[in-house]
């Protein structure tokens, strides 16, 4: 083997090593960003906020007398939804905690695995009433820091203090995502996740005034307009 061939092989090996290092670095940076976004989300004590479910089963948070309800179609496994949680928690802190708005979570799966994550959230509330919103945050945290798989379900059960076998039994009948998905299909505006709309005093879902991923300031403007319309 000539020196020229040996040098070429060495260069190729070196290139592969460099590419491998770069790939690992990119993955690590992505994980760090996801973790940082999640850690920046405001921690809320959901036990102090009124919560319940709509007539068709959607989970809802906030004062029933609030003039406006923010409706979010989301998926725990959606990267865009994960990165939106910091702003969403600001919205909850500023407007839901203070009684100016309610928040309605709608499940819109982007994959078959998404259905499992939705079932976990629903089953958490079934097994431990009023635990849905803690389960909501826990699932976003798990999904944003690791690839969601069967082990994630067990991890979720442990973090929520649930018996894993009970969770598995419940998953067989957890189907709120079907109702929410059918609702999403009624709107041309819901083309992906997150898609955020709103209701005025329990009325139909609307997709005007705010964009599909509103920031706290835009929600504040909406609440002011909604309050004036309800007078």
Over 80: is that where the pLDDT of 32 sits?
Answer: no
Over 70: is that where the pLDDT of 18 sits?
Answer: no
Over 80: is that where the pLDDT of 28 sits?
Answer: no
pLDDT bin (cut points 50, 70, 90) of residue 25 is very low
pLDDT bin (cut points 50, 70, 90) of residue 36 is very low
What per-residue confidence (pLDDT) applies to 231? 61
Would you state the torsion angle of the CA atoms of residues 156, 158, 163, 169, taken in this order, to the nearest 10 degrees? 20
Domains of the chain: 41-230 (3.40.30.10)
pLDDT tens figures, 73-128:
999 999 999 999 999 999 999 999 999 999 999 999 999 999 999 999 999 999 99
What per-residue confidence (pLDDT) applies to 11? 55
- Which pTM does this prediction carry? 0.81
pLDDT bin (cut points 50, 70, 90) of residue 228 is confident
What per-residue confidence (pLDDT) applies to 12? 53
Over 60: is that where the pLDDT of 10 sits?
Answer: no
Backbone angles phi, psi at 109, to 5 degrees: -70, 140
Token digits for 121?
């959230």
Over 50: is that where the pLDDT of 153 sits?
Answer: yes
What per-residue confidence (pLDDT) applies to 27? 34
- Please write down the HEC assignment for all residues of 146-191: CCCCHHHHHHHHHHHCCCHHHHHHHHCCCCHHHHHHHHHCCCCCCC
Burial, 147: exposed, middle or buried (Cβ in 10 Å; 0-12, 13-18, 19+)?
exposed
> Alpha-carbon distance 50 to 231, whole Å?
23
pLDDT tens figures, 71-82:
999 999 999 999
Task: Identify the residue whose tokens are 């982007």.
Answer: 110
What per-residue confidence (pLDDT) applies to 31? 39
Pairing mode, strands 101-107 and 68-74 = parallel
Least confident of 32-36, 50-54, 223-227: 32-36
Token digits for 187?
């709107």
Q: What is the biggest distance separating any 2 CA atoms in the chain, rounded to whole angstroms?
A: 88
What per-residue confidence (pLDDT) applies to 230? 63
Nearest to 174 by CA among 107, 111, 110: 107
Q: What is the DSSP string of 61-120?
A: ES-TT-SEEEEEEE-TT-HHHHHHHHHHHHHIIIIITTTSEEEEEEE--SSHHHHHHHHH
3-state class of 44 per DSSP?
A: coil
């Amino acid at each position: 083997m000539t020196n020229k061939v040996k040098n070429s092989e060495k260069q190729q090996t070196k290139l592969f090593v460099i590419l491998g290092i770069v790939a690992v670095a990119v993955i690590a940076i992505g994980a760090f960003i996801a973790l940082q976004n999640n850690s920046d989300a405001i921690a809320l004590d959901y036990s102090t906020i009124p919560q319940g479910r709509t007539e068709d089963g959607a989970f809802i948070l906030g004062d029933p007398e609030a003039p406006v309800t923010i409706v979010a179609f989301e998926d725990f496994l959606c990267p865009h939804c994960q990165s939106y949680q910091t702003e969403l928690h600001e919205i909850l802190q500023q407007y839901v905690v203070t009684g100016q708005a309610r928040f309605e979570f709608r499940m819109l799966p982007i994959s078959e695995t998404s259905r499992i994550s939705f079932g976990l959230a629903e089953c958490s509330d079934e097994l431990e009433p009023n635990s849905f919103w803690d389960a909501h945050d826990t699932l976003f945290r798990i999904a944003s820091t690791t690839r969601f798989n069967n082990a994630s379900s067990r991890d979720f059960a442990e973090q929520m203090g649930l018996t894993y076998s009970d969770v598995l039994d419940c998953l067989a009948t957890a189907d709120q995502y079907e109702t929410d998905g059918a609702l999403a299909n009624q709107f041309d505006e819901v083309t992906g996740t997150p898609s955020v709309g709103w209701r005025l005093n329990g009325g139909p879902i609307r997709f005007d005034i705010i964009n599909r991923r509103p920031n706290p300031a835009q929600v504040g403007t909406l609440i002011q307009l909604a309050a004036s319309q309800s007078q």
